[in-house]
Amino acid sequence: MRNRSAPLKGTSRREETREPAASTHDQYLSFSFKYFKNNDTEGQSLEDWAASGITDSLLTRLHHLSTTNITALQTQKCITNYKGFPPADKTFFTCPPDLSKKENWGVIRNIGGQKRRVAGFFKGNIFYIVFFDKEHRFWPSDT
């Protein structure tokens, strides 16, 4: 008679095997440069930020943002969601023709200094970077 090894342990059909759905508190940002306007017409180019020594601060900030949940980022005021493109009288930028003013436009704040921003829009947990704004001209505050 042959010795049989113990069967592989499986899960019964009645056991829950799926991971629980992530709550809003567990969501993290990802970033895309798909719509990035790499010019110095409105905002600045990647080359401008590199020459100004800002890209290291940008990468450090993006790393922090991608490892901290979205709720904490909003509480810490690292990101601001304006829920639309700024009105013409509140910005020095114009909405690119390939994008909609109705997107959830917002900014990443404090990139190596208080004035520097990255402007773009949120879709789910993805922030699409559109403009670099080292002079805080996308939606300047009164203060």
Asked if 120 and 133 count as a contact pair (C-beta separation under 8 A), the reply is no
Distance from the Cα of residue 115 to its chain's centroid? 18
Give the containing element (helix H, strand E) for 109: none
pLDDT of residue 22: 47
Structure tokens at 64: 């922090």
State the Cα angle at 36 between 86 and 47, rounded to 5°: 115
pLDDT tens, position by position, 127-142: 999 999 999 999 998 6
pLDDT of residue 98: 96
Mean pLDDT of all residues in 71-76: 92
Distance from the Cα of residue 8 to its chain's centroid? 44
Segments making up each domain of the chain, as ranges: 25-133
- Reference 137, options 122, 118, 124, 123; nearest CA is 118
pLDDT of residue 143: 43
pLDDT of residue 13: 54
Could you tell me the pTM of the whole model?
Answer: 0.80
